[in-house]
Chains A and B, each alone.
Chain A
């Protein structure tokens, strides 16, 4: 019954003048898997088309989340205790001591720590854990949204103390709130040592703050901050909440910076968590976006400010639009943005409620919304691995391929994160590398288990039958005639069915239609 209403629904949803193409249940299932998950696992398109696409979407978007004991097991193989800020800081300090000693001895290449204690290796393992989750997690929506918020509240793993702080930031700030309320997420990022360090709020103090009388040396004294640092305040308004056209002024930025003076990090020997330093705080009166903050308030005025920003109409519009850009189109149509905005207002910024509104909007299911986005490097690698049911292990291979394709995980230096617009990151070298990766993955040469192609694409005796299966499993029968011809042409002189299967699969994953979602 669901499926039938679906078909009619699409006919109505197609604006006149467009080709009267409608989505089949399989098309819709594939679209859903591309947008709310990291692509279809072999067999999954049929499964969801049979179960009902909207039923499945609603199940994924329900408030209760599925348990995933298998993923917990996989996470355990990564020895997650080494990803805490405390453990990582110890390793980095150890490495620093080693380097200092090497520099003192004028050694050209300082010796490296053994892999288990090497901070770089541990960071690589953490990147790979992200891949394992993206490829194998049952709760795909959480992984998709964790990626979205990690990018929205970007922190650069390469900047100083964030080498130690970033994994814990993702684990304890982003992931648990990825499907929660925006206000909670915003407040948690604002209090996170990773963000406070990354955007220099730890260096922002009220001008004229008395310096401690005794310091280790003059140089430490000279490095003590002496005034405001507007970095976090600006990005908070421009990127995290209101948006660049959100109607704030430079004066607002400065006032926000004054309100957030004192939001800092406890010294490492006291745990290195969030601390409000009254000594560094500016207790004067401030005005932000026309709202007056009376003098004499401490940490709580920052909390009021963040709540005000979280509920500001510009923030709601900015975030709704960005979510639609991720889930519907790089330049999202107004209809779904409006739906998201109104759901946001009604639900007080409940991410799941907003996502439900987007997925229930006609724009999400418009034929124009399918295959209109190029997969990001992470989306491409994860979806290819999922399509072949590859089981990634703890070796960093898959994460390295994402890096090679131009978007290394957690290593975007700019606070804006990786751009959603494909124009800004698709490039020739990386595109050829996608093709190489596709071929390598099909041949079992990249990261994790060798795919069992014989099981996924059993009909390889006749090239035509093989192409039908590939088109069915990967593209819901929408492989283009051109791609089909190109692959068939190459299969004509390959008698061995295994070799034919490997070649055809690699070519199909490298095809233009598999780059899209």
Chain B
């Protein structure tokens, strides 16, 4: 029995309609009433590279002469990059991901981005998370809207989980979603287990029915999640298959996501982010700032895929970043805010080993506003394909209102 269903029964079903005045609570109760299918095993992990990654030095268009012409100091030299298809190559720091490329479970998509031309980090992140570029009034995030409209999933407290102190915009909204700073410190904390149990018992009693509303439903979800975690013992977790997660936030988040997936607690959507991509100054070429960030990204993703092993069959990891960076390097050995960028798809359902998307080229006349990599794939086409083909969402219009672009880039097996 699921958390929300049980909670719904405990809270007295339809009586709520007359007492509970909070629409969100009623919306949540409604989930419980919807028919369920068996727990899904398919998982989508979204990673947000905050700060706008330089897609051009992550997936290098080394066959495009403009790349070398405009980046005399920071281009990745041909003899250092990892060639993929004679035209594109990996930044050398992405070496840990090469095996996944070769076995066909890693794809890249280039020249992807927003139809909105903002070069402001916060606006562009906002649009990428709300899923409504150009529209600021959208109050919820597209991953939350997915959870709202795909109600057949057997929702547990862990259906949608973000790693971080607050719920990111992308998961904000009326469907339940958890924000977890750290699995080990989630829930009521006390040094002695007896004290923790005592506090938990007392708080749980206080927030139980006939208490209603958002506080009660949030608390019930929280206690349920904490209880499930208690049985997991996050501290004892050991990655499998010799997977070695790198130190730092991303490695920790991905290790915890892997743990939750393996524990079958009902994770369908997981989210984590990592910063440090805003390389205005001394970006570096094969080595340096960008290389260091990519090393962390690649080794964390590689470890995650190793650790999950067979379970990667049901998992897709999607990376995203709010925009790309200028083709031309700037006066401080860095790059400024641009437009199109590159993203990754990793996992069993991915049709990998290919750079997807139409490549607009870097010739001056092909550039967006005369300076940046043009966007040939609306990010909603990519995100939409993942929701539709990987998670089976029938109607994309509910998640990306007004978007009629279609045009799936073809990264997920049908």
Binding site for B on A (CB under 8 A): 100, 103-104, 106, 108, 156, 159, 200, 216-220, 222-223, 231, 234, 238, 244, 374, 403-404, 406-407, 413-414, 416, 419, 422-432, 435-436, 439, 480, 482-483, 485-487, 489-490, 503, 506-507, 510-512, 515-516
Contacts and interface: CB of A to CB of B under 8 A. Distances in A.
Given A103-B282, A219-B331, A483-B206, A429 B201 contact: no
Interface in B322-373: 328, 330-332, 336, 371
Contact of B179 (A217, A406, A515): A406
Contacts of A404: 165, 181
Nearest to B219: A431
A217 B221 contact: no
Interface of B: 22-24, 120-123, 125-126, 136-137, 139, 157, 165-167, 169, 172, 174, 176-181, 186-190, 198-199, 201-203, 205-208, 210-211, 214-216, 218-219, 221-223, 225-226, 281-282, 287-289, 292, 328, 330-332, 336, 371
A466 B35 CA distance: 47
B205 A231 contact: no
A482 B205 contact: yes
A419 B139 contact: yes
Contacts of B218: 426-428, 431
A428 B331 contact: no
- Give 6 closest A-B pairs by Cβ, nearest first: A428-B222, A219-B331, A406-B166, A486-B205, A413-B122, A103-B282
B222 A507 contact: no
B181 A104 contact: no
A490 B336 CA distance: 59
B289 A103 contact: yes
A367 B189 CA distance: 35
B214 A486 contact: no
Given A482-B211, A507-B203, A103 B179 contact: no
B288 A106 contact: yes
A512 B207 CA distance: 6
Nearest to A429: B179
A503 B192 CA distance: 14
Contact of A406 (B125, B167, B205, B331): B167
A507 B215 contact: no
Given A374-B215, A428-B179, A429-B180, 13 more contacts: A103-B288, A231-B120, A374-B214, A416-B136, A423-B23, A423-B174, A429-B178, A430-B166, A430-B179, A431-B215, A482-B205, A510-B203, A512-B206
Given A432-B226, A435-B188, A413 B214 contact: no
Q: Which residue, of B137, B178, B225, B331, has the highest number of chain A Cβ atoms within 10 A?
A: B331
A489 B125 CA distance: 48
A482 B206 contact: yes
Contacts of A489: 202, 205
A220 B24 CA distance: 49
17 contacts: A223-B330, A234-B136, A374-B214, A406-B167, A407-B166, A413-B122, A413-B125, A424-B139, A427-B177, A427-B218, A428-B176, A428-B219, A429-B178, A431-B219, A432-B186, A439-B190, A483-B206
Contacts of B125: 413
B222 A429 contact: yes
A406 B165 contact: yes
User: Per DSSP, are chain A's interface residues mostly helix, strand or loop, or mixed?
Assistant: helix
B281 to A, nearest CB: 7
A406 B22 CA distance: 21
A231 to B, nearest CB: 7
Nearest to A516: B215
Contacts of A432: 186-188, 219, 222-223, 226
B214 A422 contact: yes
Nearest to A419: B139
Contacts of A407: 166
Contacts of A222: 328, 330, 371
Nearest to A513: B206
Contacts of B165: 403-404, 406
B199 A439 contact: yes
A312 to B, nearest CB: 19
Given A436-B189, A512-B216, A427 B202 contact: no
A219 to B, nearest CB: 3
A266 B189 CA distance: 50
Nearest to B201: A490
Contacts of A427: 166-167, 177-179, 218
A19 to B, nearest CB: 12
B1 to A, nearest CB: 18
Contacts of A106: 287-288
Contacts of B121: 159, 413
Contacts of B202: 486-487, 489-490, 507
Contacts of B221: 428
Contact of B211 (A424, A428, A512): A512
Contacts of B207: 512
A178 B293 CA distance: 43
Contacts of A413: 121-122, 125-126
B305 to A, nearest CB: 25
A435 B199 contact: yes
Given A220-B331, A406-B165, A486 B206 contact: yes
Nearest to A404: B165
A414 B125 CA distance: 10
Nearest to B186: A429
Nearest to B23: A423
Given A429-B178, A432-B188, A486-B206, A104 B22 contact: no
A219 B334 CA distance: 11
A428 B225 contact: yes
A487 B202 CA distance: 6
A413 B322 CA distance: 14
A422 B331 CA distance: 46
Contacts of B289: 103
Q: Which residue, of A200, A416, A427, A516, has the highest number of chain B Cβ atoms within 10 A?
A: A427
Contact of B282 (A100, A487, A510): A100
Contacts of B330: 219, 222-223
A403 to B, nearest CB: 7
Contacts of B199: 435, 439, 506-507
Nearest to A158: B122
Contacts of B186: 429, 432
Nearest to A490: B202
B137 A218 contact: no
Contact of A104 (B189, B282, B287): B282
Q: Which residue, of A100, A218, A231, A429, has the highest number of chain B Cβ atoms within 10 A?
A: A429
Contacts of A231: 120, 123
Contacts of A431: 215, 218-219, 222
Contacts of A103: 281-282, 288-289
A428 B178 contact: yes
Q: Which residue, of B172, B203, B226, has the highest number of chain A Cβ atoms within 10 A?
A: B203
A435 B185 CA distance: 13
Contacts of A419: 139
Nearest to B221: A428
B25 to A, nearest CB: 9
